A = this chain, B = another copy of it.
Amino acid sequence: MAKRIEVSDLNIYYGNFLAVEGVNVSIEPRSITALIGPSGCGKSTFLRSLNRMHEVLPGARVEGKVVMDGQDLYGADVDPVDVRRSIGMVFQRPNPFPTMSIYDNVIAGNRLNSKRMRKAETDELVERSLRGANLWNEVKDRLDRPGSGLSGGQQQRLCIARAIAVEPDVLLMDEPCSALDPISTLAIEDLMTELKERFTIVIVTHNMQQAARVSESTGFFNLNGVGQPGRLIEFNPTEKIFSNPDEKATEDYISGRFG
């Protein structure tokens, strides 16, 4: 049930500070969209506005429209809780619940929706999600231990397992691999490629190879200077962005090509 997301004229504020300005973009279903750009240009901010996580911060608000399959996510009758349930998120810093075991962390989201799940069902779900996040072998013997006892990379994979366990329509990932080793990164990238058959995936990454490797479309954010709002400079198929971008700024950024 992947979904198309249409963003029009989106301005994103922190209080009175306009952090991101005038974004218009259409994110294709069943694809991976990568967002790249220098630090502070508003990639995370934009990403968080897609599942209304932005408004969790005091004073934060948006103007404009984010339409998913015809429905305005910021419509008056839309509950942000429902939005987030169908648009999952993985954060830059791993954040497993420290008070829950690894097992409980994975099914935390599912527990919310359906009170009762059979043990066999959850066991299966936990294994499937942890395998998907390439973590199963490392933790299968200590599912009842706290998730906070894992290393950074392991924790991040646990978070990914947790996010995919609720089977959202869209998965937002904010530099999910920045704390991962190559093997885990590879596994996650494979997983993304697999998941995009069914889900819409948006990923923020600093790693241009990663963007080039996994994504169908790439958006390049930039900002003119400190205190200025970030803007979506270019949004194009990944191939085009990396071979023949429309914008000079994109080319400049890409051509300092490295890792």
Contacts and interface: CB of A to CB of B under 8 A. Distances in A.
Interface in A199-253: 206-210, 213, 226, 253
B258 A40 contact: no
A39 B256 contact: no
A182 B253 contact: yes
B210 A182 contact: no
Contacts of A178: 178-179
A175 B40 CA distance: 19
Contacts of A259: 182, 185, 207, 209-210, 259
A116 to B, nearest CB: 33
Interface in A136-179: 137-138, 141, 150-154, 175, 178-179
A192 to B, nearest CB: 13
Interface residues of A, number: 36
Contacts of A180: 39, 206
Contact of A153 (B40, B152, B209): B40
A179 B226 contact: no
Nearest to A189: B258
A92 interface: yes
Given A179-B92, A182-B253, A185-B258, A39 B151 contact: yes
Given A92-B152, A180-B206, A186 B37 contact: no
A92 B209 CA distance: 21
Contacts of A98: none
Given A138-B226, A226-B137, A226-B138, A182 B258 contact: yes
Nearest to A140: B226
Nearest to A43: B181
Given A259-B209, A259-B210, A259-B259, A182 B38 contact: yes
A152 B39 contact: yes
B182 A256 contact: yes
Interface of A: 37-40, 44, 92-93, 137-138, 141, 150-154, 175, 178-186, 206-210, 213, 226, 253, 256, 258-259
Given A38-B182, A209-B209, 4 more contacts: A39-B152, A39-B184, A40-B150, A182-B258
21 contacts: A37-B181, A38-B181, A38-B183, A39-B152, A39-B153, A40-B154, A40-B181, A44-B151, A93-B93, A178-B178, A178-B179, A182-B206, A182-B208, A183-B253, A186-B256, A186-B258, A207-B207, A207-B259, A209-B259, A210-B258, A210-B259
